[in-house]
Structure 1
Amino acid sequence: MTEILGDIEGVICYYDDIMLHSSTNEEHDKLLKRVFQRLKEVGLELNEDKCEYKKTELKFLGHVISENGVRPDESKVEAIVKMKEPENVEELRRYLGMVNYLGRYVPHLSTVLQPLNSLLVKETAWLWGHAQASAFTRVKELLTSAPTLAFFDPTKPTVVSADASSYGIGGVLLQEHEEGLRPVAFCSRTLSQTETRYAQIEKECLASVWSCEKFDKFLMGLDTFRLITDHKPLVTLINNKDLSETPLRCQRMLMRLMRYKPIAEYTAGKNMVVADLLSRSPASTEADTSHTEDISSHVSVVYASWLVSDTKLKQIREETAKDVNLKTAFDYTVAEWPEYKQDVMLAARDFFAIQGELSVCDGLLIKGDRIVIPFSMRKEILDRIHDGHQGINKCRERANQSVWWPRISKDIQDRVAACRHCLEKRPSQPSEPLLPTELPDRPFQKIGVDLLEFQGKHYLVMKDYYSRYIDIAYLSSTTAYAVICKMKNSFAHHGIPESVVSDNGTQFTSEEFRKFASDWNFQQQTSSPRFPQANGGAERAVDTAKAILRQDDIFLALLTYRATPIPELGASPAELAFGRRLRTTLPSLPTNFTPRTVNHDQLRVKDEAFKAKQKFHHDRHRGAQQLPELQPGDPVLIKHDGEKGWKLPGEVTKMVAPRSYLVQTDKGPLRCNRRHLRYRSSNDSAGETNNTSGLVIVPDALRHSPEPQQTPTPAPHESPPPDEPTAHQPSSGGYHTRSGRAAVKPARFLQE
Structure 2
Amino acid sequence: MASVATVSSLPNALQEEVGLPPQAAGARQPPPYKPRCVNCGLKHKPGKGSYPAEMLACHNCGKTGHLCKMCRSNGKQVAATEEMEASGIIIAATRNVERQPFIWVKVSIGNNERKSAKIQVVPDTGAQVCVAGPGLLAALNIIKTSLVNRGNLKDVANVSLKPIGSFTCCIQNGSRTTTQEIYILETATRCYVSLQACKDLGLVHADFPHQSPVVAPTTADVGNATSESADYLLARPDTVPLTPLEENVPQLEAWLLRHFSGSTFNTDRSPLPVMEGKPHSIHLLPDAKPYACHTPASVPRHWEAKVKKQLDEDIRKGILEPVPVGEVTEWCARMVVVAKKSGQPRRTVDYQKLNAACKRETHHTRTPFDLVSGIPRHTYKTTSDAHWGFHQVELQEDSKRLTTFITPWGRYRYRRTPMGHCAAPDAYTRRFDEDIEDIQRKFKCVDDTLLFDNSVEEAFWHTYDFLETCARKGVTLKPEKFKFCRRQVDFVGFHVGWDAFKPTEERLAAIRNFDMPAEPSLTDIRSWHGFVNQLAPFLATAPIMEPFRELLKKPQGKKVYWDENLKEKFRQAKDVICKLAKEGLSFYDKDRPTVVVTDWSKVGIGFVVLQQHCSCHLKEAPFCCKSGWRLALCGSRHLTSAEAGYAPVEGEALAVAWCLRKARLFLLGCPNLIVITDHRPLVKLLGDRELKDIANPRLFGLKEKTLHYRFQIKYLPGKRNSAADFLSRYPALCAPPDATDEEDANDMEGAMAAATVAALNCDDCIVLDSTTVVQAPAEDPEYQLLIAKVTAGDWHPHRAQELVCLRHFYGVRDRLAVSQGLVTYTYGQGSVRLVIPIALRKHVPENLHAGHQGLDGMLRRARQTVYWPGMEGDLQHHRDTYRVAGNSTFSERSYIKQAVVCNAPVFPKMGRPAPESISTDGGTNLTSEEMSNFLERWGVERRVSSAHFPQSNGRAEVAVKSAKRLLRANTGGGGSLHTDKVSVALLQYLNTPLRGVKKSPAQLTMGRQLRDGVPAHQQHYKVDSHWRGALRARERESVRQQGVWVERQGATRTLPPLMLGTQVWVQNQETKVWDRRGVVMETLPHRQYRRHLRAVRGSSHPTQPPPPNLILHSTRSRPTHTEATGRRQRRVKQPAWMSDYIAGTQ
**Scaled by the length of structure 1, what TM-score is found?**
0.39
Instruction: Give the structure with higher Rg (CA).
Output: 2
Which is richer in helix? Answer: 1
Could you say which structure has the greater relative contact order, defined with CA pairs below 8 angstroms and 6 or more residues apart?
A: 1
